[in-house]
Amino acid sequence: MNHIKIDTIRFDKIVIVAGETKWTLERGKYYCRVEHEYDEFTFSRFDKYWHDTGNGLGVEKATTSDLEAIPINQIFYALLYNTSGDIGLQIFRPYNESITTSTIPPSRETGIGLYFKVADTSHNEHQNIALEYLARSNQDIYIDL
């Protein structure tokens, strides 16, 4: 039986542990950080995906099968989306581990987030959300009166 517990709770962050998987959610972020060294995640297949070709450039492809490999090389994330929708799934793999079109294999860290296919501001473009994912900070602000 897997237990779910709150590991940390602060005004800007909550860490939830479910079994051997740790989920970190931060206020104002489009993603959560997941530590899942033993657990594989599965999800419904999307129509298309965008990923790194190995030369630092991204390429869009149509999904052809559930277990189609999505390599993650120099660009540490992939986008999965349906042609008809406005929102897609953004998968961050900072250790450059590949995923498939329907699974995320176990890893020390994976980021799972949402992005808008047509961003309302440049801050919300997928490449900027990815940079924000890498540039984490753990800040505590104190006001001394």
3-47 pLDDT, tens per residue?
899 999 988 899 999 989 999 999 888 899 999 999 999 988 899
Which residues 6+ apart lie within 8 Å of 48 measured at CB? 60, 61, 62, 63, 80, 81, 82, 83
Q: How far apart are CA 78 and CA 130, in angstroms?
A: 10
Q: How far apart are CA 81 and CA 47, in angstroms?
A: 6
Using a cut of 0.75, tell me whether the model's pTM lies above it. Answer: yes
Q: What is the pLDDT of residues 79-122, one digit of tens each?
A: 999 999 888 999 999 998 999 999 999 999 999 998 888 877 77
Mean pLDDT of 121-139: 79
Q: How far apart are CA 114 and CA 34, in angstroms?
A: 14
Residue 102 token pair: 């329907």
* SS3 (DSSP) at 21: strand
Q: Are 125 and 90 in contact (CB under 8 A)?
A: no
